[in-house]
Structure 1
Amino acid sequence: MTLANSPDGIQSRHLRARGGAWIVASCVIAGLVLLPVLALLWQAMRGSDGLWSHLAANVLPHAITQTAILLAGVGLLVAVIGTLSAWLVTAYDFPGRRMLEWALLLPLAVPTYIVAYAYLDLLHPLGPVQGVIRAILGYDSPRDFRLPDIRSMTGAILLLSLVLYPYVYLPTRAMFLTQAASLVEVSRALGTTRAQVFHRVALPLARPAIAVGMSLALMETLNDIGASEFLGVRSLTIAVYTTWVTRYDLPGAAQIALAMLALVIALVSLERWARRRQRFSTSAQRGRSFAPRVLTGRAAGFALGLGLLPVVLGFLIPASYLAVEAWERFRLAGFSAGLVTEARNTFLLSAIATAAVVACGVVVSYGARARPGRLSAAALRVASMGYAMPGTVLALGILTVVAGLDRWIDATARDWLGVSTGLVLIGSGMALGYAYLARFLAISTGSVEAGFSRIPRSYDHAARTLGRGPGETLWQVHLPLSRGAMAAAGLLVFVDCMKELSATLLLRPLNFETLATRIYAEAARGTYENAAYAALAIVLVGLLPVILLARIGRMGQKP
C-alpha cells in the first residue's frame, strides 16, 4: 500500500478538503465585501444623463476643496491633541493621572453628529452660553454681541477633532509605554532636556502609531455626514448624498463616490509610505518604561487641567447637555411611544447584524488559520477593506446590487407565481444588514484573528491527531479559548451599528427609524432637543467599548 493510499494519507487529504471548504466560505464572504465596489464601478460607467458635466464644473471642485481642508485640519489637530495627551499621562505623574488615562478615551462614546448638534444648541446666539456671556458683559441682545458662528469650517474641524483624537491617543500611548527606558536614559546622559527627549527620541519612535491613528480619524471624518452637513461643510459625502437623493442621479453619485474611494486609498497609501523606512523596534518584554517625572503643586494642577480640557469639551459638556435636555423632555412629556419603537428597531437590527458580522469574522479568520496561504490571506485582506470605505460609498454600491436582486426576484415571482414581491431585500432591512456586514467585518476579523493568534498551533495538531476535523477543532478548541476576543468584537460591532448614520440613512426601509436617524431628522427640523433621549441612549451604550478599552489598557500596564 502506497503512502497516498494509506489510511493516514486518505485522512490527510480528507482534512485538507474540509479545510478547503473554509477557504471557499472565506472567499464568498470576501466577495460580498468586494461586490459593492464592483457595482459602484459599473454604475459609474453608465453615465449620468448629462449631469456629470454640471457636477464636474460646479459641485466637485468645491466639494473636493472643502474635504481637503477638513481632512488637513482634523488630521493636524487630532495628531497634536492625541500625541500630547499620550505624552502627558506617560511622561509625568501627578494626582489624577490614573483617572485621566481612561477619561481621555471618553469622547469615543459620543458620535460626531451628536457632538455637533449639542454644540449648535449650546452656542446658538439665543443659547445658554452666549446668553450668560452677554449677561456678564452687560449686553441685552444678540445684535449687540455674539460669538463667531459655530457653523463653519473652523467649527467643524474643532468639533470633529475633539471626538476623534482618541484614535491617535490610544496607539501613541501604547507606543510610549513600550519604549525602553535605556533610550531615554542615554539621551538624558548626553545632555538633552525632557522636551528634547520628546522631540528627538519619543516622537520619532511613535510616528507609526501616530500615522495609524491619524488615518483612522481621517476615515471617520470622511464617513461623517451629519456633523459636516449641519456645520455647513459641503464635503464629498454630502455631495454624494444630495446627488443621489435630491437630484435622483445615481450614476453621478457613483462617480463622486469613486472619487471618495480614491481619496481613501490615497490616505492608506500615504500612511504606509510615511512608514516605509521605519525599521526600528523595541522589546516590550525586555525593556522597561522610563520613570515618569513627578509633578506637584501648581505644575500638577496645570497638567491635570490641560489633560482634562479635551475630555470636558469632547465628552462632559455634550453629555451633560443631553442629560439636562432629556430630563426636561421627561418632565414635560414623558417617554414617547415612538422612542420605544426606534430603540427596539435599533437594538434588534444591531444585534442581528452583530451576530452575522462576528460569525463571518470567525469563518474568515479561521479559514486563514486552517489553510494558510496566498488565497486565504487575500480573502482576509479583502474582507477587511469595508471599514476603510465611507458608509455613503458602501451604501451606494450595495443599493445597486440589492436593487438588481430585488428586480430579479420580482420578475421571477411574476413569471412563476403571478404575484409581485416588491422590494423584498430593501423593504425587509436586509440591505441595511448587508451594509453593516461589509462595513464592520474588519472589526470582527481583527479581534477574532488576534484571539486565534494566542492559541498555539500545537493545539490544532493535537486535535487532528485525535481525529478531529477543522470544524470540530474550531468548535471544541478555538471558540472556547477565544470567547473573550469574540465578545469584545461583538461589543464593538454592536455599538458601531447603533451609531452608524450614513448607511442607515440611505438604506433603511420606508417608515423605519432608528435612534441615529431620529436624531438626524429632529436636527434637520431644528428641534434637536426632541431627540435628546435617543442621543443620550447612544452615548450611554457607546461607553461600553470605552470601558473595555480602558480595562485592556490597564491590563497592558501590568508586569
Structure 2
Amino acid sequence: MISRVKYPVWSATSWLIALALMTPIAVMFFSGIAANSDTFLHLWRTVLPDYVLNTVLLAVYVVVLVILFGVPSAALISLTNLKTRGVLRWLLLLPLAMPAYVIAYLYTDLFDYAGPIQRYLRALFSWQSPADYWFFDLRTLTGAAVMIALVLFPYVYMLTRTAFEYQDQQLVKAARSLGLSSRQCFFKVTLPLARPAIAISASFVLMETLADFATVQYFAVNTLTTAIYDTWLEYGELSTANALASILMVMVLLTVAAEYRARAHQRHQSKNKQTSKVRISLTTRQHIIGGIYCWFLVIAGFLLPFILLVDMAVQYFEQTSLAGLWHAGLNSLEVSIYVATVATLIAVLLGLYRRLSGVKNCAIPLQISGFGYAVPGTVLAMAMLATFGPLDHWLNDVAKWLEVPMPGLLLSGSLFAIIFALVTRFAAIANGTIASGLTKIPKSLDQAPASLGVSKWQSILTVHLPLLKSSIMVAWLLVFVEAMKELPAVLVLRPFNFDTLSTQVYQMISDERLEQGAIGALFIVLFGLLPIIVLNKKE
C-alpha cells in the first residue's frame, strides 16, 4: 500500500483538487445566504412561491413519466421474449442523444395551430377557427414535463434493465415454487428488488430536470432555473441570483439525501449477469402491445425528431450560415476537449489514489469531486461568477497599484470559467466510469509488481493504466458529449462573441428559426450518439 509519508504530494494534490472544485459552490452558497436585497424580498413576496411550486411540480411530473416509460420497457426487454427486443435493447437508449429543447421546438412546430397536424385536421373537417375544435397545448408545464421525460427515460430504462438482468434468479425460482404466477412474481419479487436501481436513476433524472433551462423557458414555464437567469441578466443582481441558486441547490441535495437514505443497505443483485434465466412468454396480444409501447418511445423520443431535423437541414441548407456554424462547432470542440481531458485526468488521479493509498479517508476526495453533478448548470455559473468575479477585481486593483496593464476579466470572462464549471459538473461521470474500471482489476495486481522490484509509479504506468484504457476512453467520451450539449452554464459564462453549437441552436430556437440551426442541432445529436454506440459495442 502507498503510505502517507512516502507520497505526501499525491495526497495533498488529491485533496486540493477536490476542495478547489467545491470552493465556488461554497462561495456561492454563503453569498446567497448573506444576500438581503430588496429584489429578493420583492421576488419572495410576489412570484417566487409560484416559481418554487412550478419547479416541484415539473420534477414530480418528469420523475413519474420516466418511471412509466423506463420500467415497463426495461421489463419487456430483459424479462420477456418480446420480438425485436434485440434491436430495441439499444434503440431505447437513443433519446439520450436528443436535447430536450430541440424536441420541444420540433413538436411545438408539428402540433401548433399553424403546424401541419392542425392544418390537416382543419382541411379534413372544414374547421375555420380554434373555436370549432379542441386541441392540446404543448406550451404548458405538463408539455415541458413530457418533452423532458422523452429524452431522460433511458436513464431509468438502462439502470433498471441492468438490475433485472443481474438479479439473483434463486429468489425468483423460490417465489415461483411457492405458487406465484409470472405477474405476481414480477410485482412482489422482481420489481421490489430493482427499487434501488429505479431510485438511483430517478435521482439522475431529477437532477437533470432541475438543471433544465432552455425547455422551460421556451414553454414560458417559470421555474427557479429561469428565475436565476433572469435575475442575473435583467436585474443585474448577482447576490439575489446566488440566493435563488442556493434555494435550488438545497432542494436538490435534500431530495438526493432522502433518496440515498431510503435505499441505504439495499443490495439485491448478483455480481454476475444471469444468462440462464427463463423469459416470460408473451401472448400474441401482449407482443403487439409491448412492441407498440417500446417502438412508440423510440419513435417519439428520437426517430421522429431526428427525421424532422434532417428534413429541416436539407430544406434550409442554403439559408444556413455555414461560417457561423463552423466557428461555433470549433468552439464547442475546444471547450469539450479541454473539459473531457481535465475531468478524466482528475478521475484517474483520484481513483488510483483511492485504490492504492492506505491513507484513512482516502475516498473522500473522489466523493467531494463528484458533488458538482448534483448542481444545475445555472447554479454553477452563479458559483463561478461569485468566486472569480471578486478575484478578477482584486487582480485588476493589484495591477493598477503596480502600474502595469490590467488583465481584465481574466478568470470570470474567459474560457477558464466555462471549463472550470463544466469540469465541476461532469467530474462525477468520469469518476464513476474510472471507479467501475478499477473494480475489474484484481487486487493482486496492486502488489505483484512490487514483488518483482517494480516501483509503484512504474506499475501504475505499465499495469493499471493499460488495463484502464477502455474505461478512460469511455469516461473521456461521456464527458466530451455532456460538455458538448451543456447550455445553461455556457450561456451565462461565455465571453463576448463566443458561441457554441448549443448556444447557437438555443438562440435560433428562441427566435423561432431552428430551421437555420438544424445542421448545428444535428451535430449535437450525432456527437451524443457516440457514447451510445461505444457502450453498445462494449456490451
Same fold (TM over 0.5): yes
Q: Residues 496 and 255 (structure 1 numbering): CA distance in 2 closer, same or farther, change over 3 Å? A: same
Shift of 1:232: 2.2
Q: Identify the residue that residue 262 of structure 2 maps to in structure 1.
A: 274
Retained in 2: the 8 A contact 1:25–1:363? no
Q: Identify the residue that residue 549 of structure 1 maps to in structure 2.
A: 535
Q: Identify the residue that residue 427 of structure 2 maps to in structure 1.
A: 441
Retained in 1: the 8 A contact 2:4–2:358? no
| 1:56-110 CA distance string (max 9 Å, x none) | 1123201110011111111111112111111111222132110011111111111
Shift of 1:358: 0.8
- Look up the equivalent residue of 2:289 and give its one-letter code: F
Give TM-score scaled by structure 1 length: 0.92
**Structure 2 SS opposite 1:293:** coil
**Structure 1 SS opposite 2:47:** helix
Listed as ranges, the matches of 1:320-469 within 5 Å are 320-330=307-317, 332-333=318-319, 336-469=322-455
Alpha-carbon distance in structure 2 between the residues aligned to 1:476 and 1:408: 45
1:515 equivalenced with 2:501 (yes/no): yes
Retained in 2: the 8 A contact 1:48–1:249? no
Shift of 1:142: 4.8
Q: Residues 185 and 163 (structure 1 numbering): CA distance in 2 closer, same or farther, change over 3 Å? A: same
Listed as ranges, the matches of 1:283-294 within 5 Å are 283-285=270-272, 290-294=277-281
1:312 to 295, 299, 308: 299
Retained in 1: the 8 A contact 2:207–2:376? yes
Q: Identify the residue that residue 158 of structure 2 maps to in structure 1.
A: 170
- Report the count of equivalent residues: 539
Q: Identify the residue that residue 302 of structure 1 maps to in structure 2.
A: 289
Shift of 1:427: 3.4
| 1:380-425 CA distance string (max 9 Å, x none) | 1101101111111111111111112222322233233521211112
Retained in 1: the 8 A contact 2:344–2:476? yes
1:25 equivalenced with 2:10 (yes/no): no
Alpha-carbon distance in structure 1 between the residues aligned to 2:265 and 2:436: 26
1:161 equivalenced with 2:149 (yes/no): yes
**Cα RMSD, aligned residues only:** 2.0
**Structure 1 SS opposite 2:406:** coil
Give TM-score scaled by structure 2 length: 0.95
Q: Residues 545 and 172 (structure 1 numbering): CA distance in 2 closer, same or farther, change over 3 Å? A: same
Q: Residues 217 and 63 (structure 1 numbering): CA distance in 2 closer, same or farther, change over 3 Å? A: same
1:237 equivalenced with 2:225 (yes/no): yes
Alpha-carbon distance in structure 2 between the residues aligned to 1:98 and 1:181: 21
Q: Residues 475 and 18 (structure 1 numbering): CA distance in 2 closer, same or farther, change over 3 Å? A: farther
Shift of 1:293: 2.8
**Structure 1 SS opposite 2:268:** coil
Q: Residues 289 and 58 (structure 1 numbering): CA distance in 2 closer, same or farther, change over 3 Å? A: farther
Retained in 2: the 8 A contact 1:126–1:142? no
| 1:434-478 CA distance string (max 9 Å, x none) | 001111111111111222222223323233344544433322221
Shift of 1:200: 0.6
Shift of 1:141: 4.7
Listed as ranges, the matches of 1:130-141 within 5 Å are 130-141=118-129
**Structure 2 SS opposite 1:165:** helix
Shift of 1:284: 4.1
Retained in 1: the 8 A contact 2:92–2:154? yes
Q: Identify the residue that residue 526 of structure 1 maps to in structure 2.
A: 512
Q: Residues 58 and 289 (structure 1 numbering): CA distance in 2 closer, same or farther, change over 3 Å? A: farther
Shift of 1:201: 1.0
Please, which moves more after superposition, 72-81 or 213-222? 72-81
Q: Identify the residue that residue 243 of structure 2 maps to in structure 1.
A: 255
- Look up the equivalent residue of 2:126 and give its one-letter code: G
Listed as ranges, the matches of 1:33-48 within 5 Å are 33-48=21-36
**Structure 2 SS opposite 1:376:** coil
Q: Residues 186 and 231 (structure 1 numbering): CA distance in 2 closer, same or farther, change over 3 Å? A: same
- Look up the equivalent residue of 1:183 and give its one-letter code: L
Q: Identify the residue that residue 94 of structure 1 maps to in structure 2.
A: 82
Alpha-carbon distance in structure 1 between the residues aligned to 2:256 and 2:272: 30
Q: Residues 18 and 146 (structure 1 numbering): CA distance in 2 closer, same or farther, change over 3 Å? A: farther
Q: Identify the residue that residue 78 of structure 1 maps to in structure 2.
A: 66
Q: Identify the residue that residue 6 of structure 1 maps to in structure 2.
A: none
Structure 2 gaps of 5+ residues are none
| 1:280-318 CA distance string (max 9 Å, x none) | 524344965531134464442332111111111111111
Alpha-carbon distance in structure 2 between the residues aligned to 1:456 and 1:153: 50
Please, which moves more after superposition, 105-114 or 47-56? 47-56
Retained in 1: the 8 A contact 2:182–2:280? no
Structure 1 gaps of 5+ residues are 1-11
| 1:241-263 CA distance string (max 9 Å, x none) | 11111111111111111111111
Retained in 2: the 8 A contact 1:323–1:536? yes
Shift of 1:146: 5.4
Retained in 1: the 8 A contact 2:433–2:474? yes
Alpha-carbon distance in structure 2 between the residues aligned to 1:203 and 1:529: 43
Alpha-carbon distance in structure 2 between the residues aligned to 1:498 and 1:367: 29
Q: Identify the residue that residue 7 of structure 1 maps to in structure 2.
A: none
- Look up the equivalent residue of 1:545 and give its one-letter code: P
Shift of 1:319: 1.0
Q: Identify the residue that residue 9 of structure 1 maps to in structure 2.
A: none
Alpha-carbon distance in structure 2 between the residues aligned to 1:85 and 1:215: 19
Retained in 2: the 8 A contact 1:43–1:250? no
Please, which moves more after superposition, 537-546 or 401-410? 401-410
Retained in 1: the 8 A contact 2:343–2:426? yes
- Look up the equivalent residue of 2:530 and give its one-letter code: L
Shift of 1:228: 1.0
Alpha-carbon distance in structure 2 between the residues aligned to 1:286 and 1:43: 48
- Look up the equivalent residue of 1:21 and give its one-letter code: V
Alpha-carbon distance in structure 2 between the residues aligned to 1:334 and 1:76: 39
Alpha-carbon distance in structure 2 between the residues aligned to 1:57 and 1:469: 64
Q: Residues 286 and 60 (structure 1 numbering): CA distance in 2 closer, same or farther, change over 3 Å? A: closer
Please, which moves more after superposition, 50-59 or 64-73? 50-59
Q: Residues 442 and 282 (structure 1 numbering): CA distance in 2 closer, same or farther, change over 3 Å? A: closer
Q: Identify the residue that residue 124 of structure 1 maps to in structure 2.
A: 112
Q: Identify the residue that residue 195 of structure 1 maps to in structure 2.
A: 183
| 1:192-247 CA distance string (max 9 Å, x none) | 22221221111110100100010000100000000111122211111111111111
Q: Identify the residue that residue 3 of structure 1 maps to in structure 2.
A: none
Alpha-carbon distance in structure 2 between the residues aligned to 1:179 and 1:169: 15
2:526 to 540, 547, 559: 540
Q: Residues 428 and 141 (structure 1 numbering): CA distance in 2 closer, same or farther, change over 3 Å? A: same
Please, which moves more after superposition, 436-445 or 15-24? 15-24
- Look up the equivalent residue of 2:347 and give its one-letter code: G
- Look up the equivalent residue of 1:319 and give its one-letter code: F
**Structure 1 SS opposite 2:495:** coil
Q: Residues 468 and 509 (structure 1 numbering): CA distance in 2 closer, same or farther, change over 3 Å? A: farther
Alpha-carbon distance in structure 1 between the residues aligned to 2:327 and 2:536: 32
**Structure 1 SS opposite 2:378:** helix
Q: Identify the residue that residue 479 of structure 1 maps to in structure 2.
A: 465
Report the identity percentage. 36
| 1:492-524 CA distance string (max 9 Å, x none) | 000000000010111111110001001111122
